[in-house]
Structure 1
Amino acid sequence: MASTGLQMLGLVLVIAGWAFEILVCAVPWWRVSAFVGDELVVSQVLWEGLWMTCLSQWGRLQCKVYDSGLALSGSAQMCRTLCVVSLLLCLLALPLIITGLKCTRCLGDAQESKSRLVRIGAIVFLVAAFFFLIPISWTAYVVVRDFYDPNVAAALKRELGPALYLGWCVTVLMLVGGALLYLGSASPGVPPMPAFGKGVKGNPPSTGTESKPDKVFV
């Protein structure tokens, strides 16, 4: 049977995960400049995100949106696209989940239909979490790869930004929330199917109108 407690806990987790996902996608803290040369510069820090770059210098922060999205690398465009798709999937799943919650009256007493809506919304949230995990993990892989690549100049090396660590936590939050929603809306069970091909137990009741066989005289 559907569990209201699991549904509400899962709903809180997925909404919190979606809100933090919007924050992670918007902030420019995905990559931060790494100074690995002989001279360590601490007065200037460059932050890079999906939509803008920010330069922190002597306590002042100056941000600039990328001039053209088409001028970005294919990796950055893929990360942008997957993040937007993930956010749209969450936006699609939320009305399904809220409509199908056991504590709502949207569909009346049709509990099976409501549970099915919640399960569909939970699956959509799990897919959205997977789409969000790809750009986070791919960006981390590229940063680490370039950091240890001797062919990359020291000025171009980057380190993992705090948004990537927050993104991994957000992914776990969405996965746990989606799983709780799905488990909290488990089907009450399918009624047993009728057995075919087996003998019928007992004789049907007699109505008294059955015709008796005629006697045959030889």
Structure 2
Amino acid sequence: MDPILEVVALTLGFLSWIMVGVAIPNRYWKVSTIDGTVITTSTIYENLWMSCATDSTGVHNCREFPSMLALSGYIQASRALMIASVVSGTFGVVCTLIGMQCSKAGGENYVLKGRIAGTGGVFFLLQGLCTMISASWYAFNITQDFFNPIYPGQKYEIGEGLYISWASGTLAICGGACLMFSCKFGTKEKSGYPYQPSRGTVYSASASRKDVQSTYGRNAYV
């Protein structure tokens, strides 16, 4: 495996893992600005866990969603996918740290370390896919309601939490791809060596003739 690719993949995966942790508690997954009306509330924003509002004086009021079962299906799915993303990223960071060549963990068995690093790449890919699916599904519902002319409820726009999630998913997929390609290159280099048979299994023609002569002798042939 290429050590440079390992370092790049670990950096990308670690950054994506940190960004997932920033995106989950971010309150601005969807934002509705209603400035110019006669009511005092100026901005309403929500995420996966709560709904908040801020008035013209800058006072924030937040309330958590009362029941998980009463939420929309896409919010419940987005929650599960983001939690799965955090778990996958944690395993990806640990496996990559153990499988790196410059790491002392795992001993000197580089074949095993390469497989562990490849497993870390798979976890990073899972993290990126879960994050991208969660953010894209959430954004799809926002845009669907926004462009629906007969939608009776409050319309929202895409918030910064979704952009952070998309960036995190992109970095995770890039990091996982780097690890997978690094493992692939390492396999090709190992399989390129020519086959060399053991010296003990090579028999020459002269040795076989001597064995025949010593067994039968010179007078054995007419």
Instruction: Tell me the TM-score normalised to structure 1 length.
Output: 0.84
Aligned to 2:205: 203
Shift of 1:105: 1.5
Bigger mean CA offset, 51-60 vs 72-81: 51-60
Q: Do the aligned partners of residues 89 and 209 (structure 1) sit closer, same or farther apart at CA in structure 2, a change above 3 Å counting?
A: same
Shift of 1:53: 1.4
Among the aligned pairs, what percent are the same residue?
26
**Mapped partners of 1:173, 1:204: distance in 2:** 64
**Mapped partners of 2:58, 2:25: distance in 1:** 21
Q: Do the aligned partners of residues 204 and 136 (structure 1) sit closer, same or farther apart at CA in structure 2, a change above 3 Å counting?
A: farther
Q: 1:172 aligns with which of 157, 170, 190?
A: 170
Residue 79 of structure 1 aligns with an amino acid whose one-letter code is S
Aligned to 1:61: 60
Aligned to 2:78: 79
Aligned to 2:90: 91
Counting only pairs closer than 5 Å after superposition, residues 36-185 of structure 1 correspond to structure 2 as: 39=37, 43-57=41-55, 58-153=57-152, 155-185=153-183
Shift of 1:207: 7.7
Residue 18 of structure 1 aligns with an amino acid whose one-letter code is W
Bigger mean CA offset, 157-166 vs 201-210: 201-210
Q: Do the aligned partners of residues 201 and 150 (structure 1) sit closer, same or farther apart at CA in structure 2, a change above 3 Å counting?
A: farther
The answer (yes or no) to whether the contact 1:29–1:47 under 8 Å persists in 2 is yes
**Cα deviation code 1:79-123 (max 9, x no counterpart):** 111111111111122221111111012222211111111111101
**Cα deviation code 1:159-217 (max 9, x no counterpart):** 1111111211111111122222333343232255699xxxx99637338343339446x
Across the two proteins, how many residue pairs are aligned to each other?
Answer: 209
The answer (yes or no) to whether the contact 1:34–1:157 under 8 Å persists in 2 is no
Question: Where in structure 1 are there 5+ consecutive unaligned residues?
Answer: none
Residue 205 of structure 1 aligns with an amino acid whose one-letter code is A
**Mapped partners of 1:69, 1:204: distance in 2:** 85
Cα RMSD of the aligned pairs, angstroms, is: 2.7
Q: Which has the higher helix share?
A: 2
Aligned to 2:216: 212
3-state SS in 2 of match to 1:33 = strand
3-state SS in 1 of match to 2:157 = strand
Aligned to 2:24: 25
The answer (yes or no) to whether the contact 1:32–1:158 under 8 Å persists in 2 is yes
